[in-house]
Structure 1
Amino acid sequence: MDDFSSLMAGFQVALSWHNVGFMVIGVVLGIIVGVLPGLGGPNGVAILLPLTFGMDPTSAIILLSSIYWGALFGGAITSILFNIPGEAWSVATTFDGYPMAVQGKAAEALTAAFTASFIGALSGVILITFVAPLVASFALRFGPAEFFAVFLLTFCSFIGMGRENRAKILASLCIGFLLAAVGLDSISGDLRMTFGSTELMRGFDFLVVVIGLFGVSEIMLTVEEGLVFKGKQAKIDLKVVLRTWAGLPRYWATLLRSAIVGMWMGVTPGGAIAASFMGYGLAKRFSRQPDSFGKGNIEGVLAPETAAHAAGTSALLPMLALGIPGSATAAVLLGGLLVWGLQPGPLLFVEQKQFVWGLIASMYLGNLAGLIIVLATVPLFAAIMRIPFSYVAPVILIVCAIGAYTISNSIFDIWLMLGFGLVGYVFKKLDYPLAPLVLALVLGDRAEDSFRQALLGSGGSLKVFAANGLVTTLVGLALFLLLWGPVMDGIGALRRRGRAVEAKAAE
């Protein structure tokens, strides 16, 4: 009851006119940040953070968090319209969102993505509101071994539950791990595979790789096909939005499952990127039409968006409750709190109750405002689809180059972007999946660090990965998911062989 009263008081703070204004401004800026490839929520928040130092801490955090909500929504726009992930966690959305746009269903895909984003973020805010003390105490139990087990679970589920050729999935994963190993070894401090290049000391930036693999390669393929912009016939109106909403209840299981996955990955923290891939993989595994994924299945849009936004929002919970940032954006916001003289942790809920509950209330309002604003501006973005691709392609390429350059202010990143564009083109022509490569690239170094830290702490004994019930359960579940796909494939092959023998005997 005390928490409910505090939340109501928080709504009074968040609903003041100046805070509502900051919320709307933040959402609009966030949508722009999310649309621009390479900029991203963390960068957008970091760039604007110095501007808030003279503001009231509550208003400042509302503005910055609203930028984050807007970026979450905006990342789906370029993913669906141009097959270019505006945000790293929007990669999985391209798998079915872009095919829907190609089929003239851009309005349905965008509406589904925005609504799923709202549902996922709302589930994360509800988690923060009601189970913050429980989750905070649970997160304290995580050490290097537990973190590695979470990453292992992500990799194994992607291999075992994937429908593509598993040899190609494994090959793509290995290439991603290889790329993730380039640069400075964070454990030993040694340089690995830099070949004397100072540019490679910092490794391959994830967003540079993603922009090249998905954006530049798609431009190459489209140019090869004759400069035909496939989504130009899209039409969006209120009827389309209402019709899409009317059909969403049939996917309640996908939305619920993805929200749970996202909240888990956000708190542990596995991250929004891993959550989006895992949500997509689970939706594909449990779907009645798994073969339709990658060809324009709306579940392939709902699942990753719900999971990613649930994870992105839930990542703020350990930051507020423990001072442990669960994402890059949470880390930026953590720095802002420290500058404003606020120490994140359990005492924050006692000493700065008005601030905390005002922020939580703004999460509800910010997500609702984001959904309304982004749906209202969909026609503006959809109008881009009526522009001939011969005009749009150079603009996209320039935006991609600017996004790649902005990350580290390096011309070398633009050349990397073009190189990975060629790699993505070859992968698509040879029918190799890009998602495993991307997943391994972003999580590979983190998984390696956790693995090595766990072994250092245990004196090199692998028993550390069975040292307690939590890590044992995670590792066991990972191995189960890894073997599930091959075992089920083997059983299916035996059944088909048995039916073939029976049919032959009957003849």
Structure 2
Amino acid sequence: MELFDNIVLGLSTALAWNNLLWCIIGVSLGTLIGVIPGVGTLATMSLLFPITYVLEPTAALIMLAGIWYGSTYGGSTASILLNLPGTPANAVTCLDGFPMAKQGRAGVALLMTTVASFFGATVGILMMMLFSPLVAEVAFKFGPAEYFSMMVLGLVAASVVSSGSAIKGITMVVGGVLLGMVGTDVNSGVARFDLGFPELQDGVQIVAIAMGLFGVTEIIASINHVKAADRKIDVSMKAMLPTRDEMKRSWGPMARGSGLGSFFGILPGVGPTVAAFMAYALEKRSSKTPERFGKGAIEGIMAPESANNASDQASFIPTMTLGIPGSVTMALIIGALMIHGIQPGPQMLTEQPDMFWGLVMSFWIGNIVLVILNVPMIGLWIRVLTIPYHILYPAIIMFICIGTYSVNNNVFDVYTVLVFGVGGYVLRVLDFQPAPLLLGYVLGPMLEENFRRAMLLSRGSIQTFIERPISMWVLILTATLLVWGVWSSLRHRSVVTADPSPESV
């Protein structure tokens, strides 16, 4: 009965004309931001942050939240059509979304990612409604040892995301971890691996890495290989509908991806990028035909898209109930609340119930609006592919440069994109996949930070990672996944050796 009363209270708040208007503005801006590669959610939220001074706190919160989860919807569009992740969380969607577009099935991919996004968001919202107190308590029990174990699990999973050799996948993960260590050490304040460049003392920008590896690399690789016939795509509604087999193979990945996304979303500091990579790794390793991944498998877009949207919604649980921002974006949202004298935390559920439940119910409204916005515009986004490449590629490069430069107003970041673009092309020729490197970069700093904290708290005892039950079981799961991955690779290699036909490779 209490839940029903809270829903009614939330609906009355979310449907107030002022809050409803800013919800629609937020999700619409978020979609546009996601579609245009390189602009970035954080940059846009930062630019619009001054508006929160003059808005009511609930309206400001609803608008910023709409930009946050709306960008994930739009980010899949650029990933599928241009192989450019609109947001880092959409990077893994490039692996199978872009091959589907090259096969003339961009409409199917875009329609199904919209379905997956809504499904994942629905699960995430239900988690927030039903289990906020419980999951907040579980997340609060996580210490540095548990977070370190989770990071190790993420890195091992990243090595199996690679569609090539497991050794190459691990190599890319290590490279990503090393990239994440570039910059000023948070403990000692000493600059590390900056190669004498002052610009690297703040680390390598993730936008530059993602745009270089996924955007510029694809432009270099495709510019001399695209034929006009490859650009003709049927934009009718019939062509956008998936086959019955694709529908059947989508439900499981959506459910598993939503579950993973909700779990990782409630852990402060993990976020949708990790959730998307983990969901992809799970589907690839559990599939009976893993060789389809990276070539346009429907599971390869359904799992990560449902995971990152579920994580987007669930990430508000630690932010609102614990006052712990899981990311810079969540920190901005907390900042918007503190401007109005509101301190997020457990007391928010009792002292500001209209704001908390109004935000939750605005998620339902915002996601419905996003579906209404995205589905009719699929044909418009597909027509981008009909633009001649000699016009499209310079436009893409322009967006990449503008988006990268706008983050820090630094030309050095644009040069960094070029370096990673050329390096990514070389890696592509050598059959190294970029996805594990990106996840290694994201998890590396968190891995180091939590390892140091665990060592300080345990007075240097490495046994703390197995003495704490949650950490121990996560490490056991990690070891199991590693053994399973090695065994699967060896089995696949033995099959290829026994039958060296093109179909078996």
Q: Give runs of aligned pairs for residues 470-489 of structure 1, distance below 5 A.
A: 470-489=470-489
Match in the other structure for 2:424 = 424
Match in the other structure for 1:236 = 235
Give 1:411 shift.
0.6
Match in the other structure for 1:503 = none
Give 1:16 shift.
2.4
Give 1:157 shift.
2.2
Structure 1's unaligned 5+ residue stretches are: 501-507
Match in the other structure for 1:88 = 88
AA aligned opposite 1:113: T
| Change beyond 3 A, Cα 1:242–1:294 | closer
AA aligned opposite 2:29: L
Q: Give runs of aligned pairs for residues 170-319 of structure 1, distance below 5 A.
A: 170-225=170-225, 227-228=226-227, 232-243=231-242, 247-269=246-268, 270-319=270-319
Match in the other structure for 2:134 = 134
**Does residue 28 of structure 2 align to residue 41 of structure 1?**
no
Match in the other structure for 1:462 = 462
State percent identity of aligned pairs: 36
How far apart, CA to CA, are the structure 1 residues paired with 2:495 and 2:231? 46
TM-superposition CA deviations, 1:227-285 (whole Å, max 9, x none): 54676322333334554699534422111111111111111242211111111111111
TM-superposition CA deviations, 1:163-188 (whole Å, max 9, x none): 52011112111211221111101122
More off after superposition, 17-26 vs 100-109: 17-26
**Does residue 401 of structure 2 align to residue 401 of structure 1?**
yes
Contact 2:43/2:406, CA 8 A, preserved across alignment: no
| Change beyond 3 A, Cα 1:369–1:453 | same
AA aligned opposite 2:34: G
How far apart, CA to CA, are the structure 1 residues paired with 2:174 and 2:107? 37
AA aligned opposite 1:281: A
How far apart, CA to CA, are the structure 1 residues paired with 2:242 and 2:278? 28
How far apart, CA to CA, are the structure 1 residues paired with 2:486 and 2:51? 54
TM-score, length-scaled by structure 1: 0.94
Contact 2:166/2:489, CA 8 A, preserved across alignment: no
Task: Give the length in aligned residue pairs.
Answer: 498
- Secondary structure of 1:296's match? coil
TM-score, length-scaled by structure 2: 0.94
More off after superposition, 129-138 vs 40-49: 40-49
Contact 1:29/1:67, CA 8 A, preserved across alignment: yes
How far apart, CA to CA, are the structure 1 residues paired with 2:248 and 2:147? 34
Q: Give runs of aligned pairs for residues 264-413 of structure 1, distance below 5 A.
A: 264-269=263-268, 270-413=270-413
Contact 1:175/1:437, CA 8 A, preserved across alignment: yes
- Secondary structure of 1:251's match? helix
Q: Give runs of aligned pairs for residues 65-104 of structure 1, distance below 5 A.
A: 65-104=65-104
How far apart, CA to CA, are the structure 2 residues paired with 1:288 and 1:87? 30
| Change beyond 3 A, Cα 1:91–1:492 | closer
Contact 1:27/1:67, CA 8 A, preserved across alignment: yes
Contact 1:30/1:69, CA 8 A, preserved across alignment: yes
How far apart, CA to CA, are the structure 2 residues paired with 1:243 and 1:280? 20
How far apart, CA to CA, are the structure 1 residues paired with 2:265 and 2:311? 4
How far apart, CA to CA, are the structure 2 residues paired with 1:2 and 1:328? 33
| Change beyond 3 A, Cα 1:281–1:56 | same
TM-superposition CA deviations, 1:428-477 (whole Å, max 9, x none): 11111111111111111111111111112211110111232111111111
Match in the other structure for 2:503 = none
AA aligned opposite 2:251: W
Contact 1:145/1:465, CA 8 A, preserved across alignment: yes
AA aligned opposite 2:314: S
Match in the other structure for 2:433 = 433
How far apart, CA to CA, are the structure 1 residues paired with 2:459 and 2:143? 15
Contact 1:266/1:315, CA 8 A, preserved across alignment: yes
Contact 1:348/1:356, CA 8 A, preserved across alignment: yes
How far apart, CA to CA, are the structure 2 residues paired with 1:462 and 1:353? 43
More off after superposition, 73-82 vs 156-165: 156-165
How far apart, CA to CA, are the structure 2 residues paired with 1:208 and 1:43? 14
How far apart, CA to CA, are the structure 1 residues paired with 2:84 and 2:494? 41
**Does residue 67 of structure 2 align to residue 64 of structure 1?**
no
How far apart, CA to CA, are the structure 1 residues paired with 2:196 and 2:240? 54
Match in the other structure for 2:450 = 450
Match in the other structure for 2:502 = none
Q: Give runs of aligned pairs for residues 484-499 of structure 1, distance below 5 A.
A: 484-490=484-490
Give 1:326 shift.
2.0
Contact 1:108/1:244, CA 8 A, preserved across alignment: no
How far apart, CA to CA, are the structure 1 residues paired with 2:457 and 2:120? 36
AA aligned opposite 2:130: F
Give 1:160 shift.
5.1
Contact 1:111/1:244, CA 8 A, preserved across alignment: no
Contact 2:88/2:273, CA 8 A, preserved across alignment: yes
Give 1:46 shift.
2.2
Contact 1:231/1:385, CA 8 A, preserved across alignment: no
How far apart, CA to CA, are the structure 1 residues paired with 2:145 and 2:32? 38
- Secondary structure of 1:462's match? coil
| Change beyond 3 A, Cα 1:353–1:230 | farther
Give 1:288 shift.
2.8
Contact 2:250/2:298, CA 8 A, preserved across alignment: no
Give 1:349 shift.
0.5
How far apart, CA to CA, are the structure 1 residues paired with 2:495 and 2:214? 39
- Secondary structure of 2:376's match? helix
Give 1:84 shift.
0.6
Contact 1:213/1:420, CA 8 A, preserved across alignment: yes
Contact 1:66/1:366, CA 8 A, preserved across alignment: yes
- Secondary structure of 2:197's match? coil
How far apart, CA to CA, are the structure 2 residues paired with 1:238 and 1:246? 18
TM-superposition CA deviations, 1:358-401 (whole Å, max 9, x none): 11000111111111111122222222111111110001011101
AA aligned opposite 1:256: A
TM-superposition CA deviations, 1:130-176 (whole Å, max 9, x none): 00000111111111111111111111123357552011112111211
How far apart, CA to CA, are the structure 1 residues paired with 2:494 and 2:197? 52
**Does residue 25 of structure 2 align to residue 18 of structure 1?**
no
Contact 2:158/2:440, CA 8 A, preserved across alignment: no
Structure 2's unaligned 5+ residue stretches are: 500-505
- Secondary structure of 1:346's match? coil
AA aligned opposite 1:252: W
How far apart, CA to CA, are the structure 1 residues paired with 2:384 and 2:494? 51
Contact 1:161/1:484, CA 8 A, preserved across alignment: no
Contact 1:160/1:486, CA 8 A, preserved across alignment: no
More off after superposition, 320-329 vs 229-238: 229-238
